[in-house]
Amino acid sequence: MKRPNRMDRLKKVFIVGTVMGLAAGAVITLAASRIAFHARERSFTAENEELTKQNEELQAEVSRVQAVENSAELLKSDSENWALALVNEGHPLDTSYEPAELTEIESERSVDSRIAEPLQKMLDDAAQEGLSMYVASAYRPYDKQREVFNATMQDWINQGYSPLNSYDETKKSVAVPGTSEHATGLAVDIISSEYEELDDRQGDTDEQKWLMEHCWEYGFILRYPEDKGDVTGIIYEPWHYRYVGETAAKEITEQGITLEEYVLGQ
């Protein structure tokens, strides 16, 4: 029997060492490539998320431009942003616009049928809380708005104001025909049965406090908040609620902004 000499033993150690080294190297290379793969996968996912985000922002931008440019078209469209239509002094609504379908909420108080369910739910939930309120004004067509405006202006003229001054005074409390949100069918004036005056104190009633706190849950916003007159062009109206959809209502409320700021991005 041949006894392995020192040289043979060294060779064996060398070969085993090399094989083990190669195996370890392969494992390390494999692990490294997996790490690289995961890193690349992560960066693809991040890129994808970024692109999706940019795409969403662009879409939001497009719908906002649409909301401002042509309220009547937006209101009539199947677009999910129909509820964002902006109507104010600078963005009048086509005077021939009529909601496609109206639903009567209370006697002679109708709204665009698309908001009837959330509005009714809000009123029912408020009643459940023991609060007493009613819809004093809802959808108001252009002609009706013109009548209200002219009658109010006439009151000022009768008090001795010049027609121009009367027009300016009227504008503070009644929207100029064609610029009223009531023509969209998405706005309602809700009044406390405990206090029926349309002034700042309406906002102090339990009914308005509850509505201001909860209306966003039903897709509504208090459209003309206190201290936002310079943005909305309308004084504080603690009774005028506007449907904008649940997502927008939540965001507008959280950010403490107005519909103008929301759609114009100011």
C-alpha of 74 from chain center: 15
Contact map string, positions 181 to 210, toward Zn ion, x by CB under 5 A: --------x---------------------
56 in active site: no
Pick from 100, 77, 101, 73: which is nearest to 87 by CA? 73
Q: What's CA 197's distance to the chain center, in Å?
A: 29
Considering the complex, state which of residue 66 and residue 185 has its C-beta at the smaller distance from Zn ion.
185
Catalytic residue from among 106, 237, 254, 260: 237
Contact 195, 201 (CB under 8 A): yes
**Is the CB of 189 or the CB of 260 nearer to Zn ion?**
189
Q: Is 242 an interacting residue with respect to Zn ion (CB under 5 A)?
A: no
The first and second tokens of residue 49, run together, are 């998320």
Minimum gap (Å) between residue 221 Cβ and Zn ion: 13
Q: For Zn ion, which is the closer residue by CB, 66 or 149?
A: 149
Q: CA nearest 120: which of 131, 108, 135, 102?
A: 135
Nearer CB in complex with Zn ion: 112/189: 189
For the beta carbon of residue 25, count every other beta carbon within 10 angstroms.
10
Q: What are phi and psi of 185, to 5 degrees?
A: 85, 5
User: What residues have CB less than 8 Å from 214, skipping those under 6 apart?
Assistant: 122, 125, 126
Helix (H) or strand (E) run with residue 22 in it: helix 6-69
Near Zn ion by CB under 5 A, which window of 9-17, 38-46, 236-244, 251-259? 236-244
Nearest-approach distance from CB 222 to Zn ion, in angstroms: 11
Considering only CA atoms, which of 121, 143, 133 is closest in space to residue 243? 121
> C-beta of 188: minimal distance to Zn ion in Å?
7
How far apart CA 151 and CA 210 sit, in angstroms, is 33
Size of the site for Zn ion (CB under 5 A): 2
Which of 72, 240, 244, 258 lies at the binding interface for Zn ion (CB under 5 A)?
240
Binding string, 104-143, against Zn ion, x = CB under 5 A?
----------------------------------------
Residues with active-site annotation = 237
Residue ranges that bind Zn ion, judged by CB under 5 A:
189, 240
